[in-house]
Chains A and B, each alone.
Chain A
């Protein structure tokens, strides 16, 4: 983005970033890579324990509720809605980044606001799901759901579910807070004054990463 890329350019001769990105953006990428390993470690631990268990609860009979629908059996519907909300908020975030490239302050503020709304909606869904499961008797160290083969399940299932979705929810929470801070700066005109909206890109990267992790959490806990 800084300079036009020509074929003869000596990337490593000094004078500019050999990766053609700013320091902040590069470090955000490396942070996200390390965070990917954290989430990867958690999910692989979950996979190892699940592989080592002779039987495991069926996600379709655990996650089968929808707010306001009582005891209706609706597997996957609510979590699909949550996935849709998060993908949608990723779209509004990338639109905000795009508006930042155009230096359109109003559009950046609009799309960032929608991203924050999406993030809060996702967190509300998760809060409902956790509360619902809690009232069914599930929590760290407590698992009321039987294995598919009818035997009593260990608490591994709930421990991993609450730990990993909780860690992801924590990331969404900090993402929402970062987005709010950036929105405040956009409204104050900080980036207009600075001449670029790169901070929006950086929090955008973080936000997309949170969406990316959810894609894997969705598959590992609800589909497989």
Chain B
């Protein structure tokens, strides 16, 4: 990292730009949160962005916020690549976790719906005239 420079002039210039980028990240995070809350209110008032679309936006914006916190506030962006990768690659497991478990939950719900007593009406079988004559 750059703060190994010890010349006083460098120090000040670096200090200013670092503080600036901290506040820039703050404003980005605040704006994203305000957009999220704004969209939620828009949906409450008008029902405009449909629920599925809205949820997709929320998840996308959440990941964006997470990126800014980890990269800027936690300075992971300034670490060397090997460290970044040892942290991020294991987290890829989450992709599988989320897909697998939510799929499981959804299929559970469908089974619940289908197997509820009385829910799947026995498909009324039209008695066929041709078959069933003394075959059994």
Contact = CB atoms under 8 A, between A and B. Distances in A.
Contact of A98 (B22, B91, B105): B22
Contacts of B104: 48, 51-52
Contacts of B1: 1
Contacts of A45: 101
Interface string A92-108: 01110010011000000
B83 interface: yes
Contacts of A52: 104-106, 108-109, 112
A6 B104 CA distance: 49
Contacts of B18: 98, 101
Given A49-B105, A52-B108, A20 B80 contact: yes
Interface stretch (A117-125, A177-185, A209-217): A209-217
B4 A4 contact: yes
A14 B106 CA distance: 51
Nearest to B94: A40
Contacts of B26: 87-88, 91
Interface string A10-28: 0100000011110000100
Q: Is the interface of B mostly helix, strand, loop or mixed?
A: helix
A36 interface: yes
A1 B4 contact: yes
Interface in B102-132: 102, 104-106, 108-109, 112-113
B109 A53 contact: yes
Q: Is the interface of A mostly helix, strand, loop or mixed?
A: helix
A54 interface: yes
Interface stretch (A75-83, A133-141, A162-170): A75-83
A152 interface: no
B69 A90 contact: yes
Interface string B36-60: 1100110010000000000100110
Contacts of B90: 33
A128 interface: no
B98 interface: yes
B101 to A, nearest CB: 5
Contacts of B40: 60, 75-76, 223
Nearest to B36: A223
Given A29-B87, A53-B109, A102-B15, 4 more contacts: A26-B83, A51-B108, A91-B73, A215-B69
5 contacts: A52-B105, A87-B30, A94-B72, A208-B69, A208-B73
